[in-house]
Amino acid sequence: MNARHATVLSLLALLASSAAAQLPSQTHGEMVGTVDHRSAWIWTRASGTGLVSVRYATNAALLGALETPPVLATSAGDFTAKIPLTGLQSATRYWYAVVLADASGQGIRRQGFTSTFTTAPDPSTRADVVLGFSGDCRDAASY
């Protein structure tokens, strides 16, 4: 490798580390709530200003996943984002993952852990349900 190639590689590494430094990480959540037979809300908190979206599908691998439009998490909202998932099917298990990007949306994206929830049954049908409640959320590791 000659000096010119080494310089180019060094500059590329510097640009990549700079982009990664501007990319927020997830500090709290994610949590799912307000689940009904057609929708759910996903909440999370980022380490700084950035775009937050959610990928979701009816399979754990998120194959063919849909993705919500991004929401801008800023200091005005304590870097939190609340993202609606709409048009869901009733009584269906969904898997989802929060996606973080820098505020420009042009850089690196970071996808978090995959989590799951099940939508409520259609209100016109009788069904057994299980309700869960928590007073706390897990602190996610930076990813």
pLDDT at residue 10 tops 60: no
Closest CA to 98 of 49, 62, 123, 64: 62
Confidence at 16, pLDDT banded by 50, 70, 90: very low
Task: For residue 103, give the H/E element and its range.
Answer: none
What is the residue type of 88?
Answer: L
Beta-strand ranges (E) seen in the chain are 26-33, 40-46, 50-57, 66-67, 71-73, 80-85, 93-101, 109-118
Task: For residue 107, give the H/E element and its range.
Answer: none
pLDDT at residue 17 tops 80: no
Helices (H), 1-143: 3-22
What's the whole-number average pLDDT of the chain?
84
Confidence at 45, pLDDT banded by 50, 70, 90: very high
User: What number is the average pLDDT over the span 42-63?
Assistant: 96
Maximum mean pLDDT: which of 9-13, 96-100, 126-130: 96-100
User: What number is the average pLDDT over the span 130-137?
Assistant: 69
Question: pTM of the predicted model, to two decimals?
Answer: 0.76
Distance between CA atoms of 121 and 33, rounded to whole angstroms? 15
Distance between CA atoms of 15 and 62, rounded to whole angstroms? 30
pLDDT at residue 138 tops 80: no
Whether 53 and 99 have beta carbons less than 8 Å apart is answered as yes
For residues 135 and 131, the model is more confident at 131
Bridge partner list, 34: none
Query: pLDDT value at position 11?
Result: 47
